[in-house]
A and B are shown apart, each in its own frame.
Chain A
Amino acid sequence: MIRRGFSYGLLSTRRRAHALLLPILTTATGAFLVVQVFSLTGSVKKQATTLGNKDEIFRATLLIAVVVLLVGVVEVAVCSTRTINQRTREIGLLGATGVPRSPVVSALMVEPLVAAAAGAVVGSVLAITVDSMLAAIGASSTSPQLGPTALGTTLAIAISIASAAITSILPSWRAASRPPIHSLSHGG
């Protein structure tokens, strides 16, 4: 049943792809910064050294990059609550025809998860491309390192998906738990 919920969610996500552009863009911006800070650890640390308290400043830079990524993911959640509100009647209809809660929740979770994952991947790929281009034309003082880049990409994707799931699960759950008659009469 849950698998059917996911496929249903995928279909509706495809239909509403245009609405996902902004959340994908904001998540990508955050992911881009996180991967950049990680892959250019060398030059960020060098800059931190000129400021003094090298390790503290580097930690602060990382924290700020992750915070910005979270800000980007919040946009995913804002978008998914809007979607849920717009689909209240549809959710009511599903409930009225006997579809249990869990497939409805999984269908609703597809959109934020896809948006967060797509944003994180786009941002990471963009960051890696920009880094290697900068290194190729010699514009960057330190070449990107493979280890930190991989770590940054993994972290960016994991944080995006996890925080999108955490922020979207509650509204999805609430919407799917409402009595169908309520959703059908109040929803748009």
Chain B
Amino acid sequence: MTALVDSPATTGGSNALGSTPKADIAKSDGGNGGRLLKFALANLRRRPEQFVLSTLGIALAITAVVVVRTISIGFAGSGTASLGDVLHGAPLWVVPSQGVHYDAELGVLLPAGPAPRLVVPDGWTAQRTIAGIWAPPAGRVAVYGRPDIAGGRAVVGAAAAKVLGVRAGSRLAIGGVSLTVAVEGSSRIVSVATPVAMNVVGDSSWLTVRQPASLAGRLDLGKLLSRATGIPSSTDPAVKPAASGLIYDTVGGGGSLTFQQRYSALFAGKVTGSVLGMVSTVGLLLGFVIAVTSFLASVQERRREFGIMASIGLADEVLYFFLVESAVVFVIAYLAAAALAGIAVLTLVPDVASVSAWLQACGMAAAYVPAMAIIGALVPVHRLLQQRPVALLAEST
């Protein structure tokens, strides 16, 4: 580390290879890591334009990725929430042959036809949920008809209450009857007794099935019910229903992901697989190209400096210098990108993005920033280390 000890960069000088009294360096704390960092910062200060440009390029690229990830996580969250509204803790979900679809505007799942006829074995309980869209003049909401809701009540989600302009305890006229409103949850769903729902939205429905107590904890409930009823079962939410319908087994199945996680992954995949995801991937690639080219340029300019270091036996240290410089650039770019992306999503897509989705997206981006920083520094330095110190000193740039 002789070169570092003699380098004024550690004291923040503008010329890294000048001479400075050693006494100053003795004050520098933080050991070699601290000195490396100071050296890197001094070098970055020497080339403010390149530093600003490469940081800007990488920051913009990471911003694009964080924005797309935030949106995709936002959707994954809405997917999980909509599934929670359907299942209410039941392990099995029997859907009609026409399948179910997600209404993006309402953020709810809706069946596309009547649920299959199902005679459950003794001890099992099946509950039919009628579901459809109700569009009074106030706005569109989803209506779920559940047998566990008493005739005179309407359980309204907060978003639905806002659309319909009702409060807890007020009356809601739906399907020719007047119901007492209870506000529960945050969804845009009005849950009413089955006959009321049938009057309003017809017979589109699905079934949720619970196992007998003796089978609690079993992971093959879908298969058991499938054997008893002849309706195929699946633990994969991507499988489409057959002509006789389909049993989605939400607790069984191998793998480390739960049904809910795979279901939300389907939603997130829709975003990352769309034009949005493709464009952001291209952006990240371009950002990486900028990182590598700007480091290459910096290596090229400092050949003589590295020649001197290599000739006094500091060949490997050159790699550390670059790794630290690259790390500083990437960390600053990452922080700027996180802030930029936060502002972008909260102003552009406030309905989809939430602060927690943004934080998760930042975490995801943080996972590959170190890899990018290391590769971005290694590629140019590798070329440098291939050459003999004499060759580096001979050719001045």
Contacts and interface: CB of A to CB of B under 8 A. Distances in A.
Nearest to B293: A78
A167 B294 CA distance: 15
A174 B49 CA distance: 10
Interface stretch (B213-221, B275-283, B368-376): B275-283
B11 interface: no
Interface in B277-295: 279-280, 282-283, 286-287, 289-290, 293-294
B67 interface: yes
B145 to A, nearest CB: 24
Interface stretch (B51-59, B166-174, B321-329, B357-365): B51-59
Interface SS majority for chain A: helix
Nearest to A79: B293
B140 to A, nearest CB: 13
A28 to B, nearest CB: 11
A50 interface: yes
Contacts of A65: 279
A98 to B, nearest CB: 26
Q: What does DSSP make chain B's interface, helix, strand, loop or mixed? A: helix
Interface in A83-142: 85-86
B280 A49 contact: no
Interface residues of A, number: 43
Contacts of B334: none
Contact of B396 (A52, A53, A75, A188): A188
B75 A51 contact: yes
Interface stretch (A5-13, A56-64, A145-153, A154-162): A56-64
Contact of B104 (A52, A67, A71, A85): A52
B276 A75 contact: no
Contacts of B319: none
B71 to A, nearest CB: 6
B283 A64 contact: yes
Contacts of A16: none
A81 B51 CA distance: 11
Interface in B250-290: 270-271, 274-276, 279-280, 282-283, 286-287, 289-290
Given A53-B104, A56-B349, A68 B289 contact: no
A44 B277 CA distance: 12
A35 interface: no
Contacts of A50: 104, 270
Interface string A20-42: 00100010011001001100100
Contacts of A26: 286, 289-290
A78 B297 contact: yes
A184 interface: no
A53 B105 CA distance: 7
Given A22-B293, A64-B68, A68-B283, A56 B352 contact: yes
Contacts of A60: 67-68, 71, 276, 344-345, 348-349
A170 interface: yes
Contact of B276 (A64, A70, A79, A82): A64
Q: Which 7 A-B pairs have the closest CB atoms?
A: A52-B104, A74-B57, A68-B283, A56-B349, A82-B297, A71-B286, A171-B49
Interface of A: 22, 26, 29-30, 33, 36-37, 40, 44, 47-53, 56-57, 59-61, 63-65, 67-68, 70-72, 74-75, 77-79, 81-82, 85-86, 167, 170-171, 174, 188
Interface of B: 49-50, 53-54, 56-57, 60-61, 63-64, 67-68, 71, 75, 78, 102-105, 107, 270-271, 274-276, 279-280, 282-283, 286-287, 289-290, 293-294, 297, 300-301, 344-345, 348-352, 396-397
